Amino acid sequence: MKPIKFIFALLFLILVGGQTLSAQKQNVRILFVFDASQSMLGRWQSATKMQIAVRLLNELVDSLKKEPHVDLALRVFGHQKNYPPQDCDDSKLEIPFAKNNHERIKNFLSTIQPRGTTPIALSLEATANDFPRGGNTRNIIILITDGKEECGGDPCAVSAALQKNGVILKPFIIGIGLGDEIKTSLKCVGTYYDANTEESFRDVLKIVITQALYPTTAQVNLLDTYKKPTETNVPMTFYESRTGRMIYHFVHTMNHAGNPDTLFLDNFITYRLRVHTIPPVEKDDITITSGIHNVIAVDAPQGSLYVKINGRNQYGTVKCIVRKAGNTATLHVQDIGSSVKYLTGQYDLEILTLPRIHQKNIKISQSTTTGIEIEEAGIVNFQYGNVGYGSVFQIQKNDIEFVTDLNENTYNQSLVLQPGQYKVIFRYRLAKETILTKDRNFTVRPGESTIVNLMQ
């Protein structure tokens, strides 16, 4: 049936709603999932496993009476049907969540007689429906068991599925007297703690409950080129590292003392942090240690890029595509006339004027603004008197480069073009001979208007 060695495994499975923890104390729901299977009648140290488990749980429940922001509930398995035969559906929420449930839970525990088997996976899966919906509440499961899964279920797979669906997060496990094989099997469910005496088990209980009730302080240091935490005012997102689920969203802030502001983070979770700089930077496998102020350092040196038109803006809205130097992927699209921060480094620019302007290897340096100026455009009025087909090209030494097509459904058209030498090639729609194609060279000067007459 079960291993002879006694196991107490506590899986702390946190269900968080992704909301900011704005204070150290937050409403907490704790669901005890208690093993009352037949093997709990076995001896361990000073008494039976059942007696020790009830005594330690009663101590814990009593200690929580002074925490008005904590609600309790109790699910029990293995207590309704005898073994044999094996009943793998033997799991029930006996005491639902309510205020001041402490004595009800203790009274029910005093009536339990260990009888059945150990459906851990089934019980764990059922807990998803035991918590009331909604509210900015930390929902915690404490599973107390003296053995392993006996009904063919897979607690690790159940845990992974619940985490993937955003129902629970990282479990914490405390085991007593576990063999290496069982320890290994439980580690896939979450973080493992080992206790080999009643006293060490009691101590670990206190530590974990403290962690459950109080979020831990932390700060994010966004480091500049000189490894100083001077960068700020950047959005950042904390993800659960294993599942990728978003947990918290913040805008990085300096406090009144000029230091990175203090955050309250759930210490049960291993995080991946994404700082939404351009491009974003990430740090993975961030663990939060209870009882200390945690500092999370991320390299995020930034400078600014400012692109403007030297003179009047004839275009209206103009965009600038920013890419990492030598990379074809679009990193950001910046409005001309705006200043945008980027990580320090080299960038390529494509400014969407006519024709497009390409600038390579633009350097962004720490805490400085790199200015890019483009010439004021000119306006070209094409007069062709009748509809036709035409295109504009920029003259490049001994060649021409396509700029844009003319509108084939109008008689006249105006274009805003960058200063330079151009050629237009045009044929009327009704002209059925190629020889009737016309081409004209013209010059565009900053801030000036030019007429190109194609009717002659």
312 and 248 inside one domain: no
* Residue ending a domain, choose from 155, 186, 213: 213
Residue 128 has pLDDT above 70, yes or no: yes
Residue 287 has pLDDT above 50, yes or no: yes
**pLDDT tens digits, 197-232:** 788 778 777 777 777 777 788 999 999 999 999 999
**pLDDT tens digits, 373-423:** 999 999 999 999 899 999 999 999 889 999 999 999 999 999 999 999 999
Distance (Å, whole) CA 345 – CA 363: 6
Residue 5 lies in a domain: no
- β-pairing, 332-335 vs 319-324, is antiparallel
Q: What is the CATH number of the domain that holds 229?
A: 2.60.40.1120
Residue 40 lies in a domain: yes
187 and 295 inside one domain: no
75 and 161 inside one domain: yes
85 and 67 inside one domain: yes
- Reduced to 3 states, what is the DSSP secondary structure of residue 410? coil
Contact call for residues 339 and 369 (beta carbons, < 8 A): yes
Residue 277 lies in a domain: yes
Average pLDDT along the chain: 87
Tokens of 371: 């200015």
Average pLDDT of span 114-118: 93
**pLDDT tens digits, 232-269:** 999 999 998 988 889 899 999 999 999 999 998 887 78
Residue 208 lies in a domain: yes
Q: What is the CATH number of the domain that holds 332?
A: 2.60.40.10
Task: Please tell me the predicted confidence (pLDDT) of residue 5.
Answer: 41
Average pLDDT of span 333-356: 97
Q: 376 has which bridge partners?
A: none
355 and 438 inside one domain: no
Contact call for residues 16 and 214 (beta carbons, < 8 A): no
Contact call for residues 171 and 189 (beta carbons, < 8 A): yes
Contact call for residues 286 and 296 (beta carbons, < 8 A): yes
Task: Please tell me the predicted confidence (pLDDT) of residue 74.
Answer: 96
Q: How many domains does the chain have?
A: 4
Average pLDDT of span 106-112: 95
252 and 363 inside one domain: no
Task: Please tell me the predicted confidence (pLDDT) of residue 231.
Answer: 98
* Distance from the Cα of residue 291 to its chain's centroid: 25
Task: Please tell me the predicted confidence (pLDDT) of residue 170.
Answer: 58
Task: Please tell me the predicted confidence (pLDDT) of residue 195.
Answer: 63
Could you tell me which residue, 8 or 236, shows the higher pLDDT?
Answer: 236
205 and 225 inside one domain: no
Q: 274 has which bridge partners?
A: 237, 282
224 and 208 inside one domain: no
312 and 426 inside one domain: no
Q: Could you tell me what percent of the chain has a pLDDT over 90?
A: 60
318 and 224 inside one domain: no
The whole domain housing 390 covers 378-453
**Highest mean pLDDT out of 87-101, 126-140, 174-188, 198-212:** 87-101
Residue 252 lies in a domain: yes
Residue 50 lies in a domain: yes
Residue 118 lies in a domain: yes
Distance (Å, whole) CA 293 – CA 291: 7
Distance (Å, whole) CA 352 – CA 162: 47
103 and 184 inside one domain: yes
257 and 324 inside one domain: no
